Amino acid sequence: MTVLEQPGSYRPTPPPAWRPRTDPAPLLPDAEPYRVLGTEAADGLDAGLLLRLYGHLVRGRRYNAQATALTRQGRLAVYPSSTGQEACEVAAALALQEQDWLFPSYRDTLAAVARGLDPVQALTLLRGDWHTGYDPHEHRIAPLCTPLATQLPHAVGLAHAARLKGDDVVALAMVGDGGTSEGDFHEALNFAAVWQAPVVFLVQNNGFAISVPLAKQTAAPSLAHKAVGYGMPGRLVDGNDAAAVHEVLTDAVRRAREGGGPTLVEAVTYRMDAHTNADDATRYRSDTEVETWRGHDPIALLEQELTARKLLDEAGMAAEREAAERMAADLRERMNQDPVLDPMDLFTHVYAEQTVQLREQAELLRAELDAAAEAAPDSPEGTQR
């Protein structure tokens, strides 16, 4: 028994320094996910923005379907579909300005495409070809991140560095609900809040970390409530309401740009497809549950709003579907072309200046390639590499 545990022992009152550094009340998220579509708040929405969101949603749905089909054809090693989550993906891309950075996870290929990345380049990593598949600096899109949540500290570091340099840059980092159980998530939020870094964290809560439901990951009232523990605002939003997600993210990006620090946004959505093409989702969720969420489809919600305001008719919907089919056809054609790969690219973009070990390995590989070429002089040019 310690002195302080003894009956009648002296227990000093903590000094004033213990008091909260910030008032927690303004940081708390709403009790229910924020919605716009189907409410009075929708009356003030910009028609052009709604139509732009709709076009991206329709093309995104088709992109997911086509990429999933490519896995069955052996053209992709794996594809984690974001069908049902398109509103989060598109809103994240459209909320950013050109100079800002997007930090996606492996499921966020659609966000990268909506930001302007070539659809084929967005699939290169999942195809098993050449490094990331695109230049992150050119597109301001960090590499698609397969390890859970490791992109979050990277986003904080970039945002903090940009602020120190005086650059007008905000980083938006995307992660799934499963990623919030990783240490990287907590470390990133803590550093972001302490440094007041201009970064926005978007958690797409799609119900499952592969097969583990959210209730088995956390006992928190919501994932957005976790923000309070780090000293940043938490926002809870309907992740299938494209207008609401865009509004919340745009506000969070603006706040970060103006020096207000980070925000944690939880978008409540649902993964309609399996975790990947290698997953059997019927083992951990029912068809009834999936069908219930189909009734809250992000495309249907936006279509209802647009048609009610007479901003969209059957001809307009058909035109968007045709544009999506053209995109899918172009994606199929280019993905069906066998890439010409150079094994020496294994040593490219690893270090700014190659280490002694890498140079030795590169020389060994070069010698093996030259020997193979000499042994097969009649082989078509480029097949050895």
Helix 183-195 × helix 151-165 angle, to 10°:
20
- Residue 275: active-site member: yes
Q: Is 352 exposed, middle or buried (0-12, 13-18, 19+ CB in 10 A)?
A: exposed
Instruction: Exactly one of 72, 254, 284, 385 is catalytic; name it.
Output: 284
Tokens describing residue 97: 């300005």
Q: Name which of 207, 211, 210 is nearest 223 in CA terms.
A: 207
DSSP conformation class of 214: G
Dihedral over Cα of 222, 85, 159, 261: its sign: negative
Residue 276: partners with Cβ closer than 8 Å, 6 or more residues away: 78, 79, 80, 81
Number of C-alpha atoms within 13 angstroms, CB side, residue 303?
16
- Residue 270: active-site member: no
What is the residue whose two structure tokens read 């509004």?
247
Instruction: Exactly one of 75, 154, 255, 271 is catalytic; name it.
Output: 271
DSSP conformation class of 173: E
C-alpha–C-alpha distance, residues 215 and 115, integer Å: 33
Q: In the beta sheet, which residues pair with residue 130? A: none
Contact 175, 234 (CB under 8 A): no
- Residue 52: active-site member: no
Supply φ then ψ for residue 355, to 5 degrees: -75, 165
Query: What is the dihedral angle through the alpha carbons of 197, 239, 86, 305, rounded to the nearest 10 degrees?
Result: -120
Amino acid at residue number 70? L
Number of C-alpha atoms within 13 angstroms, CB side, residue 115?
29
C-alpha–C-alpha distance, residues 211 and 187, integer Å: 25
Instruction: Exactly one of 56, 61, 246, 275 is catalytic; name it.
Output: 275
Tokens describing residue 134: 């695109």
C-alpha–C-alpha distance, residues 121 and 135, integer Å: 10
Catalytic residue numbers read 271, 275, 284
